[in-house]
Amino acid sequence: MRIGIVCPYSWDVPGGVQFHVRDLADHLLRLGHQVSVLAPADEDTPLPPYVVSAGRAVPVPYNGSVARLNFGFLSAARVRRWLHEGRFDVLHIHEPASPSLSLLACWSANGPIVATFHTSNPRSRAMIAAYPILQPALEKIRARIAVSEYARRTLVEHLGGDAVVIPNGVDVRYFADAEPDPRWTGGARDGEPGTIGFIGRINEPRKGLPTLLAAMPEILAARPGVRLLVAGRGDEEEALEGAPEEVRRAVEFLGMVSDEEKARLLRSVDLYIAPNTGGESFGIILVEAMSAGAPVLASDLDAFRQVLDGGTAGELFPVGDAGALAAAAVRLLGDPARLAKLGATAARHVRRFDWETVGADILAVYETVASGAAAVEEDERTGWLGRLGLARD
């Protein structure tokens, strides 16, 4: 099957949608399909052979963050050329309602279109106002996928229609088989102070690092010597502005980490904390942490609650409550049996997110849409032949 995938966000900036598109393309290629991905990318960005650059992206405020998107007349021309050259059996567009390559592709494409909706946010006047512009493009979509029930509800409230829920995928074995790194292990299960992990853009408020830093004095008071390992891009001094000296000593900034380093970090820490404050439709980092065997403590966001099976596969604390976060972290780090149980439960739970399962579900959508389009084309062909008296049984 010839499959075209449109990624709206810049390929050189790490993010959940980019990772999902990359891993989906890799999975489909392993199965023998022909795959081409169109994405924004800077000229010097190293790209896999299946990725076609649509040019440099520009930062745009979107969904409570700043997304790097590509839009305009030149981008539209590149989209049309890519569609013409690809002659895809199925076109898979991610975030088609964003002002990006995805919307341009939706406007330009003909044939079977599948769209995945990742965004979750409150009902907004901007989305309501934009609906008349989006409607012609959205009506071309043959099948809709939402990465979570929360993303599905956002789609229904903003744009109408419905979607099948297929979660983001993770290569579970890749994280499970990673080797722990002695630099990052903390030994909480053996009575040592322990290490806490955080991965995300450190200066983006909704990722919640300020809440975690606010909880650190209480955690350190109960467990002197505990370390907080922070991986991600951002201004480290700005993140620690106003933090007490004991917190500064306990925090280790690792900067941007590779996929291999991320897996090893998650295999090493005693507790992974996701203190996000909102704007999350799924929580791929939670699945990666669980795949690596790291016990998870996360904000009680709707999307996180769903990923953690209502709190069975990981513990939850009230959003933005540094005191509750600290109390839960201290309790967990002091309870090796609970940490082990969370890790074992998570290892069973993450199987539903493995690419073997998720990829099969997405392919089933592709095949349904493609076969439906072929049936319509055949009906149209025989209809014309019938009117000409040339149709055959």
d(CA 312, CA 321): 20
Q: Is residue 282 within 8 Å of 20, Cβ to Cβ?
A: no
- Is residue 305 helix, strand or coil? helix
In the CATH hierarchy, which top-level class contains the domain 2-169+354-387? alpha beta
pLDDT number for residue 221: 97
pLDDT number for residue 133: 74
d(CA 146, CA 119): 9
**Amino acid code (one letter) for 50:** Y
- Is residue 158 helix, strand or coil? helix
Q: Which residues contact 345 (CB under 8 A, 6 or more apart)?
A: 312, 313
Do 172-352 and 2-169+354-387 have the same topology in CATH? yes
Q: Which residues contact 68 (CB under 8 A, 6 or more apart)?
A: 9, 10, 13, 40, 57, 58, 59, 60
pLDDT number for residue 393: 47
Residue with tokens 């408020």: 205
Give, to the nearest 10 degrees, the angle between helix 125-138 and helix 101-108.
40
For the chain, percent helix, then strand, then coil, each to nearest 5?
A: 50, 15, 35
pLDDT number for residue 97: 86
CATH number of 172-352: 3.40.50.2000
Domain ranges of the chain: 2-169+354-387, 172-352
**Residues lower than pLDDT 70 in the chain:** 61-67, 121-131, 373-393
pLDDT tens, residue by residue, 251-307: 999 999 999 999 999 999 999 999 999 888 899 999 999 999 999 999 999 999 999
pLDDT tens, residue by residue, 195-242: 999 999 999 999 999 999 999 999 999 999 999 999 999 999 999 999
Per the prediction, the chain carries an average pLDDT of 90
Q: Is residue 118 within 8 Å of 93, Cβ to Cβ?
A: no
271, 244, 254, 251: which is closest to 335 by C-alpha? 271
